[in-house]
A and B are shown apart, each in its own frame.
Chain A
Amino acid sequence: MNRQEAVKLENVTKRFGNVVAVNNVSFEVYKGELFSLLGPSGCGKTTTLRIISGLERPDEGRVYIEGTDVTELPARERRVCLVFQEYAVFPHMNVYENIEFGLKVKMLPRAERDKKVKEVAELLELVDYLNYKGGRLGLSDQQKVAIARCLVVEPKLLLLDEPLTLVDARVRERMRRELKRIQRELGTTMIYVTHDQLEALMLSDRMAVMRNGKIIQIGTPEEIYDNPADMFIATFVGSPAMNFLEGVLEVEEGMLILKTSSYKYVLSKSIESSAVQNLIGTEVVIGFRPEDAEVRHSGEVEGVIKLVEIVEDRKILHIKINEDEVKVLADIFTSFTEGQKVKVWINPLRLHIFEKKNGKKLLKGVVSR
């Protein structure tokens, strides 16, 4: 593919005392892309953004913007703008002055400033608020102003650090959609930091998952969801979370079997793929998403329904299989009751096999299509 690079990080490391906040991180973001950095609290997302913006200098590694090495370039010359999680607007200025700020320090003529401010205000639906003092706005409007302030200076790259975390849940969803609309409309390259997997899945063109200062997987939301690189991502992305069963892979009468401490589970009637055969005898963790299993009248595994939860338009069945408890999705019209005995079928195409030792993905799907 012939995509233009907007930003590239090359083996970037940043330490604070003994803490390695960012550990040998490399990735690139292409022009016009909405790229997300997803990871739990403290994994180094903010630090990564601050390094890209130039507010923080990496201890090791290089940062390139549009092909130019900017590692030594001060923040104000990078044309990268950052929307902070909090404290987004200047409280002593009104919305108009806030948006105008970046143009004013560049000493643009007044008429031009006015035109640009109005354009951006229009885009973000802030026209009615232009006279409001920054500190008097609600949080979601404050974030809009912060985004407007960045857009007005036409940055090469717009960084957003959990901009919607503090915003009301209902407004958040609308803001998300709006943000994506603006991104599509202007074609601005954006890096969006979040610890909310749903947000990352919804927004991104591509995304990276971070943990303990390292990037562990980069891909499209579909790739991350369908093919998580390890158990951490498998747990972190998707809700309700993936189910796990621990055991040893074995072959019995030509069938692939997972042998747990207390029972045997037939994963597949045949062993076609050689990849599977190599795994026979290893201690593994089998993972499957709640939507990749079904409750049936006949099946290989018996369980008892412990709890029926209704979430939005579907049911989540908590099923106890011997020692393990798994979640299985069911249609909302089904009539399952707690205490009912059922059989569980797991789609063998969508099984994930992880190495027990380190949680790394070994294989996805135990039969070929």
Chain B
Amino acid sequence: MIRKILAKVVICIVLAVAVVWTITPVMWMISLSFKTYGEWRTPSLIPHNPTLDNYIMLFSPQSITTIFIAYTAVLEPITRPLIRSLIISATATVIAIIIGFFTAYGASRYNSPGSFTLFFTLLTRMLPPAVFVTPIVIYFTTLALIDNIIGLALLYAATTLTYAVWILKGFIDAIPIEWEEAALLEGASPLQAIFKVVIPIVRPGMVVAGLFIFLMSWTELLFALVLTNLNVPLSVQVSKYVTAVGALWGVQAAAALVSSIIPLVIGYLIQRHLITGFTFGLVRG
């Protein structure tokens, strides 16, 4: 009895610590985004004079006449990087999932392109990304893809493809081949078997892999910094508010908050799929 209670207490404490650990920075970010310039460096959680200035600065820097005016020339409204990031991340996700699915299907059903190649694609993700910066810059310069959002989308699709393959392969492996064979015997073509049987069943896996890839593309900074100049994505834009010239902490917090809204909304919309996806709860009916 006492043991049980003790166990519960310990679990509660652990959970509480975990919650505080994850929530605090977010709370701090929210609080900071509503603070006035003078308050940015004070350690209070509640803003004394809550203001929307930071958000105005984000969305229409031209209308600002206050102390930030010196920066406005270099900053575009955040909506543009936001839209760019949406396009980049969505494109990268769609490409990686489509190619990833068919690669995973081949790997699962026909053992192609061979387990070594498959493992090798994962290996490239084990090196620090900085290793690839120079060759990528050279490729992108040659292909005239510098400062081009499609270039970034392709790069992200390529670098996240291996995750799509590995996640989806796990899901496809769990689907008994008999289901596809049954479809064939009832007159379906191999493609129909894939589209009507395999894809609906692995959809939760696609959602999980998709969200994962979307988030990776959404938050990627290194390549975005190196490969863009004017057409910056959101992650680069967020970093721009704190520069050598000056540090707009409050504005950056607001930007960070705005940039986390999209993943949050997506996560909320697909949460039903996420649960099935994460628990692989599809086959064992």
**Which residues on A are within 8 Å of B, measured CB to CB?**
53-55, 74-76, 78, 80-82, 84, 86-88, 90-92, 101-102, 105-106, 133-136, 146, 149-150, 153
Q: Kindly state the separation between the CA atoms of A20 and B196 in the bound complex, as whole angstroms.
A: 35
Q: Does B12 contact A (CB under 8 A)?
A: no
Whether B201 sits at the interface, judged by CB under 8 Å, is: yes
4 tightest A-B CB contacts, nearest first? A135-B285, A102-B186, A87-B176, A105-B188
B186:A87 contact, CB within 8 angstroms: no
Q: Please determine whether A84 and B182 come into contact, CB atoms closer than 8 angstroms.
A: yes
What's the minimum C-beta distance from A7 to chain B, rounded to whole angstroms?
14
Asked whether any CB of chain A lies closer than 8 Å to the CB of B136, the reply is: no
Least CB distance, A131 to chain B, in whole angstroms: 16
Establish whether residues B192 and A105, one from each chain, have CB atoms under 8 Å apart when the complex forms.
yes
**CB-based nearest B residue for A136:** B285
Query: Main secondary structure on chain B at its contact with chain A?
Result: helix
Q: What are some 13 contacts across the A-B interface (CB < 8 A)?
A: A55-B184, A75-B185, A76-B187, A81-B186, A82-B182, A87-B179, A90-B182, A90-B197, A102-B188, A105-B183, A105-B188, A105-B189, A135-B285
Could you say which of B183, B184, B192, B283 contacts A91, with CB atoms under 8 Å apart? Answer: B283
A75-B185, A91-B282 as given contacts; A84 in contact with B201, CB under 8 Å? no
Interface residues of B in 191-237 (CB under 8 A from A): 192, 196-197, 200-201
Determine how close the nearest CB of chain A comes to the CB of B190; give it in whole angstroms. Answer: 8
- Shortest Cβ gap from A150 to chain B (Å): 7
Per the bound structure, the CA–CA distance linking A54 and B187 in Å amounts to 12
Partner of A87, one of B178, B184, B185: B178
Cβ of B216 to closest chain A Cβ, rounded Å: 28
Chain A nearest CB: distance from B280 CB in Å? Answer: 13
Given contacts A86-B176, A105-B186, contact A55 B181 (CB under 8 A): yes
The answer on a CB contact under 8 Å between B283 and A101 is: no
Contact A53 B185 (CB under 8 A): yes
Best-surrounded residue of A92, A102, A150 (most CB of chain B within 10 A): A92
Q: Which residues of B contact A136 (CB under 8 A)?
A: 285
**A105 is contacted by which of B179, B181, B196 (Cβ under 8 Å)?**
B196
Count the B residues whose beta carbon is within 8 Å of the partner chain — how many?
Answer: 20
Give the CA-CA distance A86 to B192 in the complex, in Å: 22
Chain A residues near B188 (CB, 8 Å)?
A: 76, 101-102, 105
Q: Across the interface, name the chain A residue whose C-beta is closest to B181.
A: A55
* Contact residues in B for A150 (Cβ distance below 8 Å): 185-186
Contacts of A146 in B (CB 8 A): 182
Pick from B181, B182, B183, B201: contact of A92, CB under 8 Å: B201
A54 to B188, alpha carbons, bound, how many Å? Answer: 14
Q: Which residues of A contact B285 (CB under 8 A)?
A: 91, 133-136
5 more A-B contacts (CB under 8 A) besides A87-B179, A134-B285?
A: A76-B184, A76-B188, A101-B183, A105-B192, A150-B185
Contact status A101-B196, CB under 8 Å: yes
The answer to whether A86 touches B201 (Cβ under 8 A) is: no
Chain A residues with CB under 8 Å of B176's CB are 86-87
CA distance A266 to B70 in the complex (A): 121
Assembled-state Cα–Cα distance A92/B283 (Å) = 10
List chain A residues, Cβ under 8 A from B185. Answer: 53-55, 75-76, 78, 80-82, 150
Which residues from B are CB-within-8-Å of A133? 285
A245 to chain B minimum Cβ distance, whole angstroms, is 46
In whole angstroms, how far apart are the Cα atoms of A75 and B183 in the complex? 10
What residues of B have a CB within 8 angstroms of the CB of A134 in the complex?
285
Bound together, the chains give a CA A80 to CA B200 distance in angstroms of 25
A92 neighbours in B (Cβ, 8 Å): 200-201
Contact A82 B181 (CB under 8 A): yes
Contacts of B184 in A (CB 8 A): 55, 74-76
Closest chain-A Cβ to B198's Cβ sits at a distance in Å of 10
Residue among B184, B185, B282 having the largest count of chain A Cβ atoms under 10 Å:
B185
CB-based contact A149/B182 at 8 Å: yes
